[in-house]
């Protein structure tokens, strides 16, 4: 196992995959990769899309919406200086599109880490994945209403990384932060920590339908 307290480069990739099979194959929901003092991650797996968080604290997005070119999103502190909890974003998945995601490769289970998501256990047709970074050793105040998890949330912590990585899955209609129909998108606010609709904040979003996956989805 890699050592995160040694003075040597760190390179660890975490794959988030489905527990069940779709069209005979397990599917890859996304990945998070810690590489030295940088971070790369992507969910949805449209060809070429990814986010990056660099050692200078700058955050970038490359996607169809940015024309395939890296576009700066915001700036924060370098990963090694991160304090408390930092939200990287909220991802919305529709069950009907899972079969269009890339098939999970066997090597994912041999290299790095992987986390299985039981998609069919969620009663909602759509589900959210909240991605957060947390300072090593930071304790969440369970008595603080602005920090607690939404009801029926599924939480996975990765303490092998530095900073720690937290994935929170929301798959009930009453706890979704983001949901969508063909005509509109709904964004909700639960508390300061779990929100897609906080007062005074600006949000950027991308929404892709099945056709985008037919044309730009990663082939396996």
Q: Which domain holds residue 124?
A: 11-194
Is residue 47 in a domain? yes
Alpha helices, DSSP H, located in the chain: 210-216
Is residue 122 in a domain? yes
CA–CA gap between residue 84 and residue 51 (Å, rounded):
21
Q: Is the peptide bond before 118 cis (omega within 30 degrees of 0)?
A: no
| pLDDT tens series, the chain, 220 aa | 333 344 444 689 999 999 999 999 999 999 999 998 899 999 976 667 888 999 999 999 887 777 788 888 889 999 889 999 999 999 999 999 999 898 998 888 887 789 999 999 999 999 999 999 999 999 999 899 999 999 999 999 999 998 999 999 999 999 999 998 888 889 999 999 999 987 766 655 555 444 444 444 454 4
Is residue 201 in a domain? no
pTM: 0.86
Query: What per-residue confidence (pLDDT) applies to 112?
Result: 73
The per-residue b/e assignment along 8-24, b for 16 or more CB within 10 angstroms, e otherwise, is eebebbbbbbbeeebee
Is residue 208 in a domain? no
Return the bridge partners of 31, or none: 15, 42
Helix, strand, coil: what percent of the chain each, to 5? 10, 40, 45
Is residue 209 in a domain? no
Q: Give me the number of domains the chain comprises.
A: 1
Residues in contact with 25: Cβ distance below 8 Å, sequence separation at least 6, in sequence order = 103, 104
The first and second tokens of residue 32, run together, are 């998070």
CA–CA gap between residue 93 and residue 96 (Å, rounded):
9
Is residue 43 in a domain? yes
Q: Is the peptide bond before 11 cis (omega within 30 degrees of 0)?
A: no
Query: What per-residue confidence (pLDDT) applies to 15?
Result: 94
């Amino acid at each position: 196992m890699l050592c995160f307290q040694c003075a040597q480069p760190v390179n660890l990739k975490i794959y988030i995959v489905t527990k069940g099979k779709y069209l005979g194959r397990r599917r890859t929901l996304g990945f998070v990769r810690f590489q030295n003092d940088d971070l790369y991650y992507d969910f949805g797996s449209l060809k070429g899309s990814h986010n990056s968080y660099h050692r200078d604290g700058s955050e970038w997005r490359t996607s169809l919406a940015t024309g395939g070119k890296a576009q700066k999103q915001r700036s924060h502190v370098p990963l090694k200086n991160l304090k408390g909890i930092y939200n990287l974003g909220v991802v919305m998945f529709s069950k009907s599109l899972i079969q269009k995601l890339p098939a999970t490769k066997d090597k994912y289970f041999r290299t790095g880490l992987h986390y299985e998501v039981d998609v069919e256990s969620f009663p909602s047709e759509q589900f959210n994945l909240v991605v957060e970074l947390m300072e090593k050793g930071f304790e969440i105040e369970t008595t603080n209403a602005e920090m607690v998890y939404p009801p029926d949330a599924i939480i996975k912590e990765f303490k092998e990384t530095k900073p720690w990585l937290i994935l929170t899955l929301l798959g009930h209609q009453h706890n979704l932060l983001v949901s969508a129909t063909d005509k509109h998108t709904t964004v909700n606010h639960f508390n300061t920590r779990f929100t897609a609709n906080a007062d005074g904040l600006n949000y950027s979003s991308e929404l892709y339908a099945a056709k985008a996956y037919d044309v730009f989805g990663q082939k396996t």
